[in-house]
């Protein structure tokens, strides 16, 4: 059996790349083409495969080492007797085999712009080797943003690798032509950038692959091809939630090069961050969430936990510090019966991450109460009868929004947000309402509800709920809420524990009203009772204030004339 050196193959223009993952260890059996290490430049990362099958005898690189073409990665005891005629460096390079020079193909103007004027430049998907129909998993820039040359625009991912596609021009991003989930191929239009300097002034090297270069085709505007890139590491298994008892692994979790760069800058241990992106990918938001949790002391990094446990005597059993949770149970459900796996809709994944953060970071308490809405319901039914022709239907939720505005005015801390040591009291009343849609939970917002009547609120609610169900809500429709109501009244149930919609500090949950026998001092009377569940942030609100808020809300719902007092 021959001992052979496996070297870094031709990796194009990437000369000093950093080893960021060791995918094998001495003693491991590897197949030909199996990835051995992951290396990363400041733009991209790629896996280096083995040119032969065999057993790893010695690793010649460590995490953090810089390597270049020809560097020895490891010594392999080759499985076959075949003489190592082809040097390992000639082994098939990771796809794309040899990254195309990263110098951007200069845009060719269809109609030269006057010198100094901004010219629209199309940025297209460059040569990405063998990868077809890669999925856009992140859009990293928004129209209007100032883009630097080589700044990453989107991240795309195949089933094996992910890569960021940079801009070949500097300027202002005029349009982004792809969205998360789109499939793209070489030559597809990604974005239009208003180039800072006229593209025609730049020297024009020949495009790397004419077939792929849309510059050859007549275009109404300047065309550019983004520099080609090498792939990033294949997805690692989703990382479990922060868990100090899990030993760190040699392989890094799934994250794009830019997220890794930010993590390095912040000193965030990526292997402790739970990824909420596709396939458990760690996004910039996950990094921010993790950093916030560490800063607020809700979680500790393993390093901090280890340091603390060295410095302090062992905590008594049951101590909650550091959230010493068990790992998430891994169950092979198929052992117990037939199962079906479904991808979770994007909205559900986003709301799950937000709800989880809010539940963990906010000390919730929920007060339950009942409001007598017998008279209000009679008034609602009458109003709907009188307004039958207008087409606007008034539901209890519209009255609840008005009643909540009155209660928020009386108890301003419920209409606030925490900002460090300060409380931000809002002098506006934008009320969010949870809407159940086929895509998942969404929270459109009725802006300035204090200035609107019940009919207008009903109309706006109907419009927003329709937009939500049609998946047409804009970010503006969903932002700015200062308090939220979650009504399950149309569905059923008695009480529940709504999760606060951070950075708000309270949320009202409402269930279905029912006729109840209520003691009026001399007899039981049938009254229509509405169950209220108010969750509040105990850092901001005290239990007594919450009880008063609910009691006041009940009084208003019982007799709306109290709003005038
Ligand atoms: N008690 C009794 N009946 C009620 C009621 C209550 N509290 N609230 C509403 N109803 C009735 C309405 O009057 C209407 O009756 P009719 O059809 O006879 O006129 C029916 O229930 C349906 O109402 P609705 O749900 O269409 O209207 P709404 O204004 O109450 O709610 C919306 C609108 C968008 C909030 C609702 O459709 C929705 O999506 N609710 C779910 C919210 C949710 O998922 N919350 C949980 C979040 S936490 O996971």
Looking at residue 199, what is its pLDDT? 40
Looking at residue 346, what is its pLDDT? 86
Cβ(401) – ligand 1 distance below 6 Å: no
Percent over 70 (pLDDT), the chain: 74
**Burial of residue 4 (number of CB atoms within 10 Å: 0-12, 13-18, 19+):** buried
Distance in angstroms (rounded) separating the CA atoms of residues 534 and 239: 34
Mutate to test the pocket of ligand 1, among 347, 366, 431, 487 (most ligand atoms within 8 A of CB): 487
Ligand 1 atom at minimal distance to the Cα of residue 398 = 29
Q: Whose CA is nearest to atom 21 of ligand 1?
A: 490
**Token pair listed for 48:** 């280096």
| 233 within 8 A of 21, measured Cβ to Cβ | yes
Strands of 177-216, DSSP E: 183-184, 189-195
Task: Please provide the DSSP assignment of 275-305 as one string.
Answer: P-SGGGPBPHHHHHHHHHHHHTTSS--HHHH
Cβ(490) – ligand 1 distance below 6 Å: yes
Residue 302 pLDDT exceeds 80:
no
The yes-or-no answer on residue 364 being catalytic is no
Three-state DSSP class for 528?
strand
Cβ(219) – ligand 1 distance below 6 Å: no
Tens digit of each residue's pLDDT (9 = 90 or more) over 200-231: 333 333 333 333 333 333 232 223 333 333 33
Cβ(489) – ligand 1 distance below 6 Å: yes
Per-residue pLDDT band at 148 (split at 50, 70, 90): confident
Per-residue pLDDT band at 515 (split at 50, 70, 90): very high
Cβ(371) – ligand 1 distance below 6 Å: no
Looking at residue 445, what is its pLDDT? 98
Distance in angstroms (rounded) separating the CA atoms of residues 441 and 433: 10
Tens digit of each residue's pLDDT (9 = 90 or more) over 522-551: 999 999 999 999 999 999 999 999 999 999
| 49 within 8 A of 63, measured Cβ to Cβ | no
Mean residue pLDDT across the chain: 79
Per-residue pLDDT band at 306 (split at 50, 70, 90): low
pLDDT higher at 122 or 221:
122
In SS3 terms, 470-505 reads as CCCCCHHHHCCCCEEEEECCCCCCCCCCCCCCCCCC
- The tokens 């209007």 sit on which residue? 144
Distance in angstroms (rounded) separating the CA atoms of residues 486 and 366: 13
């Amino acid at each position: 059996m021959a001992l052979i050196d496996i070297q870094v193959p031709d990796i194009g223009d990437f000369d000093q790349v950093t080893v960021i993952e060791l995918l094998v260890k001495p003693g491991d059996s590897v197949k030909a083409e199996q990835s051995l290490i992951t290396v990363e430049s400041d733009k991209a990362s790629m896996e280096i495969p083995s040119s032969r099958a065999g057993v790893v005898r010695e690793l010649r690189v460590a995490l953090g080492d810089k390597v270049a073409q020809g560097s020895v990665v490891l010594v392999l005891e080759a499985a076959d007797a075949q003489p190592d005629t082809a040097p390992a460096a000639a082994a098939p390079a990771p796809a794309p085999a040899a990254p195309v020079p990263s110098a951007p193909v200069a845009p060719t103007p269809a109609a030269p712009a006057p010198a100094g004027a901004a010219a629209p430049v199309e940025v297209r998907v460059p040569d990405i080797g063998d990868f077809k129909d890669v999925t856009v998993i992140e859009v990293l820039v928004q129209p209007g943003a100032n883009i630097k040359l080589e700044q990453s625009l989107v991240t795309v991912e195949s089933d094996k690798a992910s890569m960021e596609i940079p801009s070949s021009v500097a300027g202002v991003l005029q349009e982004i032509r792809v969205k998360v989930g789109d499939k793209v191929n070489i030559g597809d239009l990604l974005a239009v950038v208003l180039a800072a300097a006229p593209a025609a002034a730049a020297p024009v090297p020949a495009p790397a692959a004419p077939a792929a270069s849309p510059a050859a085709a007549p275009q109404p505007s300047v065309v550019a091809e983004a520099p080609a890139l090498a792939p990033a590491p294949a997805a690692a298994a989703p990382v479990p939630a922060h868990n100090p008892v899990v030993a760190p692994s040699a392989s890094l979790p799934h994250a794009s090069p830019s997220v890794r760069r930010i993590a390095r800058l912040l000193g965030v241990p990526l292997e402790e961050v739970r990824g909420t992106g596709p396939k458990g990918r760690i996004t910039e938001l996950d990094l921010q969430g993790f950093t916030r949790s560490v800063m607020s002391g809700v979680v500790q990094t393993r390093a901090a936990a280890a340091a603390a446990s060295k410095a302090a005597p062992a905590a008594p059993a049951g101590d909650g510090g550091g959230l010493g949770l068990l790992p998430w149970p891994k169950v092979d459900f198929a052992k117990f019966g037939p199962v079906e796996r479904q991808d979770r809709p994007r909205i559900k994944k986003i709301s799950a991450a937000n709800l989880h953060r809010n539940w963990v970071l906010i000390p919730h308490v929920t007060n339950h109460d009942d409001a007598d809405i017998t008279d209000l319901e009679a008034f609602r039914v009458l109003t709907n009868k009188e307004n039958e022709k207008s087409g606007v239907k008034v539901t209890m939720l519209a009255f609840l929004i008005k009643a909540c505005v009155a209660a928020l005015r009386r108890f301003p801390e419920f209409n606030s947000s925490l900002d460090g040591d300060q409380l931000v009291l809002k002098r506006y009343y934008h009320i969010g309402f949870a809407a159940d849609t086929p895509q998942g939970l969404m929270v459109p917002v009725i802006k300035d509800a204090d200035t609107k009547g019940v009919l207008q609120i009903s109309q706006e609610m109907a419009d927003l709920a329709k937009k939500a169900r049609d998946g047409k809500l804009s970010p503006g429709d969903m932002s700015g809420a200062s308090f939220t109501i979650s009504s399950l009244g149309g569905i059923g149930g008695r009480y529940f524990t709504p999760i606060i919609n951070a950075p708000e500090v309270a949320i009202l949950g409402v269930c279905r009203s029912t006729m109840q026998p209520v003691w009026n001092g001399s007899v039981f009377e049938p009254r229509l009772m509405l169950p209220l569940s108010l969750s509040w942030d105990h850092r901001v609100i005290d239990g007594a204030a919450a009880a008063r808020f609910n009691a006041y809300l009940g009084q208003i719902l019982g007799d709306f004339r109290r709003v005038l007092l």
